[in-house]
Structure 1
Amino acid sequence: MSDNKTIRWGILGCGDVARRRVVGAIAEDPGSELLAVCRRNAAALEQFCSDFGVVRGYTDEADLIGDPDIDAVYIATPVDRHLPQTLACAAAGKHVLCEKPMAMSVEECDRMIAACDEAGVTLGLAYYRRFYPVVDRIRSLVEQGRIGTVFSITAVTATPFSFAPGEDGYWRVVLEEGGCGALMDVGSHRLNLFLDLLGPISDVSGFCETVAGDFSADDAAVLTVRFASGALGSLQCYFGVPVDPDEFVVVGSGGRLVATPLNGGDLVIETASGIETESHPPAENFNLPLITDFVAAIAEGRAPRVDGPEVRATNEVI
């Protein structure tokens, strides 16, 4: 294991998320170094290593997990692999930063948490929107009572989903690999924010349907939730919509907060005093604050900002 000054990373899974964000975030973080990646397809692995200058490439995940020079593993694989890979990493003494959703079930979440606790390694989850400055600002305004008592929170999200069978990412609509469809994939991000901003959810109702897709997972999900506080929440999530509405609205007795699109960082504050507009853009690489916090958590001996026990609640709602 390296010392706390530099965390040497391995990545399991070299798909779209790793290519677009994870590699770059690790490269940007001053306390991190990418040492190895794993992909079963040897030709694709070779290309990935060449594209990003990765020193070590493995086609067998056991070889990467067993590499004594690796301190932490970023799991960027289909959801059904999260549990066994986390258990293996914990047994090998590796810290784990796992993609969302956490696992196929709450029971699997519990096993992941227990394994990492018993091994004394850090477990974090990649709900990177928790690090958006606009989300921090919304949380602050809600806590300050700027919009009075919160009545409701609403999110609408979608993705084009252009993957075909056999292509990277198609596992998202294969129930045995992804666990669900739009709800698990894009909906889980918003549910995690709901819980973070307004606290525990006491009741859930809704529908998950395959409306237009030629697959078994849901491409449309509509949920209504009731928080322990009495506030309500509404979530719509879809696969196969060309433009993501990315709507995010909090309504209270004294006003409204509108962060649409959420990924953009603009925030409209509507109260009886008038309308204000603020700008709180996210990091250029959404995953960088996530990586930075995780590395700091290891160095400081604390839980990361998005940890296993807290994210378990997101899976419980789903």
Structure 2
Amino acid sequence: MQDIHWGMIGAGDVTEVKSGPAFQKVEGSKLVAVMRRNAEKAEDYAKRHGIAKWYTNAQELIDDPEVNAIYIATPPDSHEDYALQVLKAGKAVYVEKPMTLSSVQAQNMAKAVGESGGKLTVAHYRREQPYFKKIKALLEEKAIGIPRLVSLRYWRKPLTQEALAETKTQWRLDPAISGGGLFHDIAPHQLDLMYYFFGDVDKAQGIAHNQAKIYPVDDAVAGQILFRNEVLFNGSWLFNASENSDTCEIIGSEGKITFSVFSNDPIGLTNQQGKQHFSFEHLAHVQEPMIAAVVAYLQDKRENPCSASEGFEVMRIIDAFIKQ
């Protein structure tokens, strides 16, 4: 495959800055068509982003002969169906997170990739950002010796009535569309990073509960993982807290690494050499490094930056945390 000509199914808020423009900026990549069921919004998006074609029917976009790869940017309830359609058409898939509504659907998707011989990448895009690649490098360099324990805390104050009234919030709080609640929107990034850093999982367990009853879904989740390399993970997600917190700490035999997943706070390293901090500029388009990696993968220049089987493992952890 030479230049990658993308079609995009779904054109919501996530695509406006985080991902959409990056498809036009990566070498060998071009966004040539977009699909949204609302014709007026589809046309408007295409005009604003310099996209030549727009559709209101997903199958028509999939069948467009100019399109050889498709970005699925719809809510999770349609990811599996769209991915299977794209793979059946012999085209590559880049699918948003969470990969699916459940690990069962993720397994179906991974099976379809294997049977079709097609290519699919899950948009766990933090893997390719310099900030998180630095953390992985520090671990591989044994800057903190042998990793022993990870403690992650993600707390948020309750959403305001104004936020609850927004369409983009409402679907995230509908399990039939999102798979769960705000945990399902946030945790895939964090749990994929843990899998990216530490590898295969031996055990995962957790508990989820709706404490404040503000939302129709669980607003508190606690989870534990034992990785096969014997690293222990302990995480808490609270969406009814009195304060906001986005912190992660990796404790090793000879030091520790502290960082945030969403706040872009400087990475902290404490070891026998003392204390260091590593700062990274905020990316204009947070998915651009991952999209560049996906394009290179589709051009057979590198390995898959996040395969369907890896996406399935993340969904398996999520299910283990919330399904008692």
**TM-score with structure 1 length normalisation?**
0.91
Matched, 1:130 2:158: no
The aligned residue for residue 24 of structure 1 is: 21
1:182 maps to amino acid: L
Shift of 1:299: 0.7
2:74 maps to amino acid: T
**Structure 1 residue ranges without an equivalent (≥5):** none
Tell me the SS of whatever aligns to 1:36. strand
Percent identity of the aligned residues?
A: 28
Match for residue 54 of structure 2 among 44, 54, 57: 57
The aligned residue for residue 86 of structure 2 is: 89
1:250 maps to amino acid: I
Matched, 1:188 2:185: no
**TM-score with structure 2 length normalisation?**
0.89
Shift of 1:246: 2.4
The aligned residue for residue 12 of structure 1 is: 9
Larger deviation, residues 116-125 vs 11-20: 116-125
1:150 maps to amino acid: P
The aligned residue for residue 44 of structure 1 is: 41
Query: Would you say the 8 A contact 1:15–1:169 is kept in 2?
Result: no
Shift of 1:128: 0.9
**Separation of aligned partners in 1, 2:152 and 2:275:** 21
Shift of 1:165: 5.6
Query: Would you say the 8 A contact 1:73–1:89 is kept in 2?
Result: yes
**Separation of aligned partners in 2, 1:243 and 1:118:** 47
Q: What is the RMSD of the two structures over their aligned residues, measured on CA atoms?
A: 2.2
Distance 1:73 1:241, change over 3 A: farther
Deviation per CA, 1:130-181, whole angstroms, max 9, x where unpaired? Answer: 1122322222222222212212112223567564467134221111111111
The aligned residue for residue 171 of structure 2 is: 171
Matched, 1:295 2:292: no
Query: Would you say the 8 A contact 1:294–1:304 is kept in 2?
Result: yes
Query: Would you say the 8 A contact 1:122–1:303 is kept in 2?
Result: no
Larger deviation, residues 282-291 vs 185-194: 282-291
The aligned residue for residue 157 of structure 1 is: 154
**Separation of aligned partners in 2, 1:234 and 1:261:** 15
**Separation of aligned partners in 1, 2:274 and 2:228:** 30
**Separation of aligned partners in 2, 1:66 and 1:261:** 38
Distance 1:158 1:292, change over 3 A: farther
Match for residue 114 of structure 1 among 111, 115, 120: 111
**Separation of aligned partners in 2, 1:240 and 1:152:** 26
**Separation of aligned partners in 2, 1:94 and 1:56:** 18
- After TM superposition, the structure 1 = structure 2 runs for residues 60-75 of structure 1, keeping only pairs within 5 Å, are 60-75=57-72
2:274 maps to amino acid: G
**Structure 2 residue ranges without an equivalent (≥5):** 319-324
The aligned residue for residue 235 of structure 2 is: 235
Larger deviation, residues 182-191 vs 151-160: 151-160
Pairs aligned (count): 315
**Separation of aligned partners in 2, 1:163 and 1:73:** 31
Tell me the SS of whatever aligns to 1:315. helix
